[in-house]
Amino acid sequence: MIEAVGLTKRYGAKTAVHNLTFQVRPGAVTGFLGPNGSGKSTTMRMILGLDRPTSGYVTVGGRPFHQLPNAPRQVGALLDAKAVHGGRSARLHLLSLAQLSGIPASRVDEVLGVVGLQDVARKRSKGFSLGMGQRLGIAAALLGDPQVLLFDEPVNGLDPEGILWVRNLMKRLAAEGRTVFVSSHLMSEMALTADHLIVIGRGQLMADMSVKDFISANSADFARVRTPDGEPEQREKLTAALVEAGGRVLPEQDGGMRVTGLPLPRISDVAHGADVRLWELSPHQASLEEAYMRMTQGAVDYRSTDDQRAGFQPPAPAFGHQMPAMPQMPQQGWQETAYPVLEGERPNPYAQPVAAAPAAPPVPPSAPASVPAPADLTKRDSEDAR
């Protein structure tokens, strides 16, 4: 299990991660979501001991990563598939990793077969495609047969067959009781792969819940209704009847209507009673992508000037009836402390000040003490503070 408590990382005046507290439990695929620059990569680096937290701590199996005996046999990770010496063959790359960790050479050939690279095992990795490089990175993560696995964009560059293979691999690893933590921007793939979600925005926790609960909390189901084109009087007649029956009606840009407050059979009965023909009557259930966009639309740092957030904001109300307000997400983890506004840093819009902050959890003796960010980190490009 991976456990983070009050995890914070600052790069000079930039707070990349602030006060993250969460658990990644074994036996399930946990998706790690957030916009670009939200702190996902920084969080994963702190889990793996590549970056030291400014405050707070993170443990794997109850210990900080640097205290794990023979860590590659307990934790496998894919953070950067390009971190390979291009002059080495796939087999030699994995063999060197195996020798450093006391892993038998037979395991190298085994994982090459698992990821489908057995036929190109002796070819230099500099000639690999992006997808082949991803497979090699996954092979390196699986090399020690670890119980904890972290993957950052594992399907990047893979073809549809490869994406399906990665999806099934993640599920199989979780079914074996392993801890699987996956960061990805592909919402459709996360919806098919993940059981649980951890969502962050601008370094703070936004959601920690199952995929089903996340979609339910960030969307509103509705019925899509369409009357014959070219007969606006039919639509007006149906609108009046639906409103009278207790429904709420909003127009859509293509001439259809969005109806809430009434089940589909009731809408059909109302239309029949009003003698209105229907060209369409279909249920709409939000996807993970739609729910994610609704939650994180205010946390996006890089947005096109042409982007009017179409599709993520409810349309202007018509007929004097508004859609019901979207359910508010429980702000887990934000109430512990107010977000610190440092010099040159924008205030975090998600921070909710509270009257009194609860006592901080005790830090185990093995956890690093809170220290200021090293001076060299303040010189990094802002893109490093992810």
What does the pLDDT average to over 214-234? 84
What is residue 16's predicted lDDT score, i.e. its pLDDT? Answer: 92
What is residue 305's predicted lDDT score, i.e. its pLDDT? Answer: 63
Residue scoring higher pLDDT (171 or 254): 171
Annotated domain spans of the chain: 2-210, 219-289
The Cα–Cα gap between 135 and 43 comes to 23
What is residue 304's predicted lDDT score, i.e. its pLDDT? Answer: 62
Token representation of residue 67 = 């205290």
For the stretch 254-288, pLDDT in tens is 888 989 888 899 999 999 999 999 999 998 877 78
What does the pLDDT average to over 161-177? 94
Q: Which of 60-69, 157-166, 188-197, 333-342 has the lowest mean pLDDT?
A: 333-342
CATH 3.30.70.980 assigned to domain 2-210? The reply is no
Quickly list DSSP for 307-375: ---TTTSPPPPBTTBPPPPPPPPP-TTTSSSPPP--TT-PPPTT----S-PPPPPPPPTTSPPP-PPPG
Quickly list DSSP for 69-103: TTGGGTEEEES-TT-S-TTSBHHHHHHHHHHHHT-
What is residue 306's predicted lDDT score, i.e. its pLDDT? Answer: 63
CATH 3.30.70.980 assigned to domain 219-289? The reply is yes
Q: Largest alpha-carbon pair distance within the chain?
A: 78
What band does 346 get if pLDDT is binned at 50, 70 and 90?
very low
Percent of the chain whose pLDDT exceeds 90: 46
Token representation of residue 173 = 């690893």
What is residue 374's predicted lDDT score, i.e. its pLDDT? Answer: 39
What is residue 297's predicted lDDT score, i.e. its pLDDT? Answer: 72
What does the pLDDT average to over 185-200? 91
What does the pLDDT average to over 38-49? 93
What is residue 307's predicted lDDT score, i.e. its pLDDT? Answer: 56
Across the chain, what does the average pLDDT equal?
79
What band does 338 get if pLDDT is binned at 50, 70 and 90?
very low
For the stretch 131-143, pLDDT in tens is 888 999 999 999 9
Whether the per-residue pLDDT at 215 is higher than 60: the answer is yes
Please classify residue 319 by burial: count the beta carbons closer than 10 Å to its beta carbon, then call 0-12 exposed, 13-18 middle and 19+ buried: middle
Topology alike, domains 2-210 and 219-289: no
Buried b (16+ CB within 10 A) or exposed e, 343-359: eeeeebebbeeeeeeee
Residue scoring higher pLDDT (332 or 164): 164
Residue count (the chain): 386
What is residue 352's predicted lDDT score, i.e. its pLDDT? Answer: 42
